[in-house]
A and B are shown apart, each in its own frame.
Chain A
Amino acid sequence: MGYLPLPVAGIDPGCVNDANAQIEGVADAVETNMNFDKEFDASGLACPLPIVKTKKSLNDMAPGQVLRVVATDPGSVCDMAAFAEQTGNALLESGEEGGKYVFFLKKA
């Protein structure tokens, strides 16, 4: 089993303001082994670094390319959804793997 969509994994991130964005992101999470063009490991980093450095990682990517982000900060679950919603970079999938949070962002 690959990435569990968050509701299935029993995690309610309880995001304020953007619960819809989170659900939409998860609703697309059918693929479990998504291809990606680049990976950013934010493990061990605390707010705001996972978001700020995700943005930096996206900077040199081409539109349509997919960035895989791994994070350990529980706050990044809601923050990544909020980031995606505000920047237009689609959160294709988010889930949990081996105690870490995994996100797939498609660059706008």
Chain B
Amino acid sequence: MASKKMAIIATKGALDMAYPPLILASTAAALGWEVQIFFTFYGLQLLRKDLSGIAISPLANPAMPMPVPMPVIVSVLPGMQAMATSMMKAKMKKKGVASLTELRDLCLEAEVKFIACQMTVDLFEFEKSDFIEGLEYGGAATFMKFAGETDVCLFI
């Protein structure tokens, strides 16, 4: 039986939105699926060698559970994003949620193919040396070639 295939377009670089592509990709790979992730716009942040800068902001994020009610005017204050990020990371660690780096390593180990969108790499003036090894670089047509053969195709 030919393996199933999944393609994901990862467009977000915030801590909460960084997880779904990597969780789904690593799981599908564990199920024997062939998986590709196309990283574009802010999703490119997930390809950086060092992921410690990936953050989450309570600003414009009214659904984010906070320990105390947080008026928007407080969320704007300097340091609030850093505080929210470190609190979220601490909570994740406590609950046994993998780090982004660990999930990404599991994806690569399971031969999930990572494609960096060439146009947005150029747009944001990234250097290939900013990113981890083993990436492919391509455009929409590259993605569509694989996406057209998939069973599941997601835009995240």
* Range for the number of chain B residues in contact with chain A: 10 to 19
> Considering residues A46, A72, A73, A83, which has the most beta carbons from chain B within 10 angstroms of its beta carbon?
A46
CB <8 Å contact, A86 and B32: yes
Q: A87 near B: Cβ within 8 Å?
A: yes
Q: B95 near A: Cβ within 8 Å?
A: yes
Q: B23 near A: Cβ within 8 Å?
A: yes
Return chain B residues, CB-CB under 8 Å to A51.
27, 30
CB <8 Å contact, A52 and B30: yes
Cα A62 to Cα B63 in complex, Å, equals 47
Smallest beta-carbon distance A76→chain B, Å: 11
Q: A100 near B: Cβ within 8 Å?
A: no
Smallest beta-carbon distance A43→chain B, Å: 9
Return chain B residues, CB-CB under 8 Å to A52.
26-27, 29-30, 106, 110
> Considering residues A52, A54, A56, which has the most beta carbons from chain B within 10 angstroms of its beta carbon?
A52
> Considering residues A44, A55, A83, A87, which has the most beta carbons from chain B within 10 angstroms of its beta carbon?
A55
**Interface residue SS majority, chain A:** helix
Interface string of A18-56 (1 = CB under 8 A from B): 000000000000000000000000001111110110111
Q: B73 near A: Cβ within 8 Å?
A: no
Q: B96 near A: Cβ within 8 Å?
A: yes
Instruction: List B residues at the A interface (Cβ < 8 Å).
Output: 23, 26-27, 29-32, 95-98, 103, 106, 109-110
- Given A46-B98, A83-B31, A86-B32; 4 other pairs, CB 8 A cutoff: A48-B30, A49-B96, A73-B96, A87-B32
- A sample of 17 inter-chain contacts (CB < 8 A) reads A45-B96, A45-B98, A46-B95, A46-B96, A46-B98, A48-B30, A48-B103, A49-B98, A51-B27, A52-B26, A52-B27, A52-B29, A52-B106, A55-B30, A56-B30, A72-B96, A86-B32
Q: 10 closest Cβ contacts across the A-B interface?
A: A55-B30, A46-B96, A48-B27, A44-B96, A52-B30, A46-B97, A45-B96, A86-B31, A52-B26, A48-B23
